[in-house]
């Protein structure tokens, strides 16, 4: 029985050694064989040097290094493609995904689950505004998408090789893991834990990046926004019909004094805004389709020891 640990790393020089120490300690207490796949996602610091050093010291350590920063989703994909274990687990390098949960996760796999996923029940230590938007995002996406996307779910997840292969078989370029994991199905056990703060270094996400990421998630796993433009269209047809009737009746009853250009301008601006908004939605889907059809590689590997 072999477990592959996939770790995406982007500028993690402060935490990578701490992470290795921790996972090494956990692996010593377990009877399974391990391999650690560190994916260097185009770091500009000494992350890669640390990976190479670790791989010299410990032959279970493998590394894959990208030619530039391709994003966490690409790093996960690369790690999965290289993983040879019977079970695969992915963890962040910053110890926000506590490796000490691993034995417990494994015990559930033995009970017949295909996957054990984790969710944090608190968002302690996170800026309140970030938590607020995160909650809103989960509410919205679960309403408009068929895929179950769990609030507070982390990417920390243990799964069988079969499930990993199912994930790799999804060829899309715009990868939204939280959706992909839900989409492939399989029996999943959810473990809950309190939020842990990053040991060292800084988060790679700011509010704007998170916003773009959430749009990506919605576009990738729901077509509801497209329906929205039709709904707006119908709504405004009904409204304008009512207005026409109103104006005809008023003209017949009170004649036609020239007035009302300010309201006309307001209405034009309003409808114009809605039209642009709907254009934008269509454009989002079109741009994603455009990127998919280009069929570009999801990442480029520059250096590896596998």
Contact footprint for ligand UDP (CB under 6 A): 8-10, 12, 41, 69, 71-72, 75, 92-94, 96, 198, 203-205
Q: Tokens 């920063």 belong to which residue?
A: 69
Distance CA 154, CA 157 (A): 8
Shortest approach of ligand UDP to residue 118 CB, angstroms? 13
Decide which of ligand UDP, Mg ion, none touches 205; Cβ closer than 5 to 8 Å per partner kind. Answer: ligand UDP
Could you say which of 15, 40, 96, 222 contacts Mg ion (CB under 5 A)?
A: 96
84 vs 197 by CB, closer to ligand UDP: 197
Task: Tell me the sheet residues that pair with 189.
Answer: 116
- Residue 164: its H or E element: helix 161-168
52 or 154: whose CB is closer to Mg ion? 154
Distance CA 145, CA 135 (A): 16
Binding piece for Mg ion, criterion CB under 5 A, among 5-13, 29-37, 84-92, 151-159: 84-92
Alpha-carbon distance 111 to 42, whole Å? Answer: 39
Helix/strand/coil for 119: strand
Of 124-132, 195-203, 208-216, 280-288, the window that binds Mg ion (rule: CB under 5 A) is 195-203
What would the 3-class secondary structure string for 180-233 be?
A: HHHHHCCCEEEEEECCCCCCCCCCCCCHHHHHHHHHHHHHHHCCHHHHHHHHHH
118 binds Mg ion (CB under 5 A): no
Which of ligand UDP, Mg ion, none does 130 bind, CB closer than 5 to 8 A by kind?
none
CB of 58 to Mg ion, least distance (A): 24
Rounded Cα distance between 128 and 125, Å, is: 9
36 vs 183 by CB, closer to Mg ion: 36
> Contact, 197 vs 96, CB < 8 A?
yes
Q: Is 15 in the site for Mg ion (CB under 5 A)?
A: no
Which of 73, 94, 97, 155 touches Mg ion (CB under 5 A)?
94
Strand bridging mode 301-304 / 61-66: antiparallel
User: Does residue 11 bind Mg ion (CB under 5 A)?
Assistant: no
> Which CB atom, from 211 or from 246, has the smaller least distance to ligand UDP?
211
User: Among residues 159 and 278, whose Cβ is nearest to ligand UDP?
Assistant: 159
**Closer residue to Mg ion, CB minimum distance, 98 or 151:** 98
At CB < 8 A and 24+ separation, what contacts does 17-20 make? 17/50, 17/54, 18/95, 18/199, 18/200, 19/91, 19/93, 19/94, 19/95, 19/99, 19/199, 20/54, 20/61
**Smallest separation (angstroms) from ligand UDP to the CB of 108:** 23
Select the binding partner of residue 72 from ligand UDP, Mg ion, none (C-beta < 5 to 8 A, by kind). Answer: ligand UDP
Q: In this complex, which beta carbon is closest to Mg ion, that of residue 140 or of residue 196?
A: 196
Interface contacts to Mg ion, rule CB under 5 A: 92, 94, 96, 198
């Amino acid at each position: 029985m072999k477990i592959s640990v996939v770790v995406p790393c982007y500028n993690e020089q402060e935490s990578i050694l701490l992470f290795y120490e921790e996972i090494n300690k956990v692996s010593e207490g377990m009877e399974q064989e391990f391999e650690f796949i560190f994916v260097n996602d185009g770091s500009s610091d000494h992350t890669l040097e640390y990976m190479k050093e670790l791989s010299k010291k410990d032959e279970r350590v493998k590394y894959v290094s990208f030619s530039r920063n391709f994003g966490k989703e690409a790093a996960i994909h690369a790690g999965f493609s290289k993983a040879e274990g019977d079970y695969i687990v992915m963890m962040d390098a910053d110890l926000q995904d506590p490796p000490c949960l691993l034995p417990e996760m494994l015990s559930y796999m033995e009970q017949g689950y295909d996957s054990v996923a984790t969710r944090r029940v608190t968002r302690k230590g996170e800026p309140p505004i970030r938590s607020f938007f995160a909650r809103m995002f989960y509410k919205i996406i679960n309403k408009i998408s068929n895929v179950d996307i769990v609030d507070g779910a982390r990417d920390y997840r243990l799964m069988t090789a079969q499930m990993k292969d199912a994930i790799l078989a999804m060829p899309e370029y715009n990868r939204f893991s939280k959706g992909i994991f839900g989409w492939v199905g399989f029996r999943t056990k959810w473990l809950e834990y309190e939020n842990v703060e990053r040991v060292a270094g800084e988060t790679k996400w700011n509010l704007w990046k998170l916003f773009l990421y959430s749009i990506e998630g919605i576009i990738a796993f729901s077509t509801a926004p497209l329906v929205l433009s039709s709904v707006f269209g119908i709504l405004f047809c009904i409204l304008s019909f009512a207005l026409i009737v109103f104006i005809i009746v008023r003209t017949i009853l009170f004649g036609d004094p020239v007035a009302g250009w300010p309201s006309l301008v307001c209405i034009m601006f309003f409808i114009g805004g809605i039209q642009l908004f709907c254009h934008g939605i269509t454009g989002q889907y079109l741009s994603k389709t455009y990127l998919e059809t280009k069929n570009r590689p999801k990442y480029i590997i520059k250096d590896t020891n596998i």
